[in-house]
Amino acid sequence: MAETALEVLEGIRRELAAQRGAPGTALEPRSPSRMVGPHASKEFVEQVAAMASHDMKGMHVQDPSERVTGAKVGGRGLAATMKALAEGTDSAGGYLVANQLADEVLTAARARSAVVQLGPRVVDGIGRQLDLTRVSTGATAYWPNENAPIPISEPSFSQDVVLRPRDLSALVPVSNRLLRDAADVPDAEDVIVQDLSEVIALAWDLACLAGSGSGNVPTGILSMSGTQNVTTALGIAADGDFFDDDLARAMVGALRNVNSAMLRPGWVFHSKILNQLESLKDNEGRPFSLNPAFLEIGDTGWTGKFLGYPFAVSNQLPTNETRGASNDTTSVIFADWSESWIGVNRDLTLDVSREAAYTTDGGTTWVSAFQNRQTLFRCEQTMDFTMRRPNNAVILRGLKT
């Protein structure tokens, strides 16, 4: 009868102990054999194959993390990954960064994105394209007379291709010294995560708010057809006007006028607009911002409430739009963000290289990461953006900055 895994391991223990002249002495840590008996459990086979930690009758099977340059790498996942990268150790299986690092960056990016904070619908796993059904003509209810038949009323539907997978990529060089520091200093870890996440968050916001729709770029709200542009209706001057609470309240009314459900209404504007709102004063010279019902700014200074509705600041909104003789105007968006959709086909992935080169001017000049003692992070994700009902986004242009 074939020996079990327990019998094989016990025999090895006795034999080695006898060779050392100290029967029963526990073995010192060693790398495990990948041989197990035919009756070993599935869990044990997988654990031995993965070279995971396992204690059995005095034998300690060493965890791979304990063999990284002779020292154990513990603590936060980012620190472990950064330490391995900084020391040139291929502990994560090639130079593909551990999933935990990508998750940390993705979480931070979502927290930094103005659009994501306002609550759009996120659809994971879109295929080649996502078709979304819209009601083009709604059903009608009637008040029939007694004993009279109820008229038939059927809604008509249209189906449009609204989301397609679009590749989002970014290259971020990080100094090797910072990587070494990140192994032991939490603040250095935070710097790296913030740098990587901010690149992704700014790309999301630029696409969702001001994307041109050309090539592989998503169509942002400012470029989308069917939105409510109320610039003329609200009487913005030929050369632009400053934003105030009267204009803001009119924008809220415009969204109500299209029967918006207003499930997640909210503002997006540039930081220069927020600065103007903070400086508004009443007839007695008191700032309106002292009244939280008018303006309430969160701890970070990038979010809060304006006229009771959430706002998020994004400097991805342009401030160089032309209005008459002015070429320094911007736009404010008030929308029901439950009608905005972000389609994601692939989670964020991070690849790392110390030998690659990168360009900062479109290919004229190339920078060697190796020569400059840098590590190059490549961030990739597949996503798209649209509004299911574009008229649930109200846009006011021509605002002076």
* Confidence (pLDDT) at 156: 62
Task: Give the Cα separation of 294 and 309 in Å (integer).
Answer: 10
pLDDT tens, position by position, 47-60 = 544 543 444 333 33
DSSP class of residue 51? T
DSSP codes, 141-204: ---PPTTPPPPP---EEEEEEEE--EEEEEEEEEEHHHHHHHTT-HHHHHHHHHHHHHHHHHHH
* Confidence (pLDDT) at 106: 81
Instruction: Residue 46: count other Cβ atoms within 10 Å of its Cβ.
Output: 11
Q: Domains in the chain, ordered, with CATH?
A: 5-62 (no CATH), 99-127+162-216+343-385 (3.30.2400), 221-341+387-400 (3.30.2320.10)
| Nearest Cα residue to 162 out of 38, 379, 342 | 342
DSSP codes, 170-186: EEEEEEHHHHHHHTT-H
Which runs of consecutive H residues, i.e. helices, occur in 20-174?
42-49, 77-86, 99-112, 114-117
Comparing 151 with 241, which gets the higher pLDDT? Answer: 241
pLDDT tens, position by position, 194-203 = 888 888 899 9
Q: How confident is the model at residue 25 (pLDDT cuts 50, 70, 90)?
A: very low
* Confidence (pLDDT) at 247: 97
Q: How confident is the model at residue 276 (pLDDT cuts 50, 70, 90)?
A: very high
Answer whether residue 74 shows pLDDT above 80: no
Question: How far from each other are the two terminal CA atoms of the chain, in whole angstroms?
Answer: 85
Q: How confident is the model at residue 34 (pLDDT cuts 50, 70, 90)?
A: very low
Q: How confident is the model at residue 250 (pLDDT cuts 50, 70, 90)?
A: very high
Specify the range with the lowest mean pLDDT, choosing from 22-36, 147-161, 213-227: 22-36
Comparing 102 with 206, which gets the higher pLDDT? Answer: 206
Answer whether residue 169 shows pLDDT above 80: yes
* Confidence (pLDDT) at 181: 77
| Nearest Cα residue to 33 out of 15, 12, 19 | 12
Average pLDDT over residues 129-149: 73
> Any idea which residue has 């659009």 for tokens?
115
Q: Which residues 6+ apart lie within 8 Å of 116 measured at CB?
A: 110, 122, 201, 204, 342
Mean pLDDT of the chain: 78
Q: Annotate 20-45 with b (16+ C-beta within 10 A) or e (fewer).
A: eeeeeeebeeeebeeebeeebeeeee
* Confidence (pLDDT) at 158: 59
Backbone phi, psi, residue 278, to 5°:
-65, -30
Q: Give strand pairing partners of 342.
A: 122, 385
Q: Which residues 6+ apart lie within 8 Å of 297 measured at CB?
A: 274, 278, 289, 303, 304
What global pTM score does this model have? 0.72
* Confidence (pLDDT) at 4: 53
Report strand pairing: 374-387 vs 340-353: antiparallel
Average pLDDT over residues 26-46: 49
pLDDT tens, position by position, 106-117 = 888 888 899 999
6, 160, 389 from 133: Cα distances, Å:
61, 7, 11
**Contact yes or no for 268/304 (Cβ under 8 A):** no
